Amino acid sequence: MAEELFLPENGNKTELYESILPQIKGLTSIETDLIANLSNTCAVLKETFNHLWIGFYLVKNDELVLGPFQGPIACTRIKKGKGVCGTTWADAKTYVVEDVEAFPGHIACSSASKSEIVAPVIVNDEVVAVLDIDSDQLSTFDAIDQKYIEELCSYLASKWS
């Protein structure tokens, strides 16, 4: 198993994603444990981009429950339709939020969070989790992030068990 990431020197955002996605697939291709795979995925994203918070919330009954993450202490449970994560779950679509303070009903798990992207992991037409990435800078995330994060979530959905 790989013990370090190989990243392009001075790579732009696209180059970084193009570099890490195959590495995440390599890390998770043989491992069958979901938590181990989600944990390593968070670690790769954190090491590559050093965003404030990166983690998964898993659908458990009628709420999202905190799963593997990297970053400061986080909210542990989120109701469907509440905040960016709960809205992503309810709508089964990715949200790119330039300014979290402007998002109706935003849940402030960390006052340092300024912008956010949340993408659903969808298995058999059901959202089973969301991948939440927070930045301490405004307008951090864009269409490039959305493209690659959605690709990552689609891959993870194929590994879900």
In a domain, 42, yes or no: yes
The boundaries of the domain holding residue 133 are: 13-159
In a domain, 7, yes or no: no
CATH of the domain at 57: 3.30.450.40
In a domain, 5, yes or no: no
Sheet harboring 53-60: ordered strands across? 77-79, 63-70, 53-60, 126-135, 115-123, 95-97
Contact criterion met (CB below 8 Å) for 8 and 16: yes
pTM for the structure as a whole: 0.95
Q: What is the model's pLDDT at position 2?
A: 60
In a domain, 57, yes or no: yes
Closest C-alpha among 149, 155, 160 to residue 13: 149
In a domain, 22, yes or no: yes
- Total number of domains constituting the chain: 1
Residues 4-37: pLDDT tens digits? 889 999 999 999 999 999 999 999 999 999 999 9
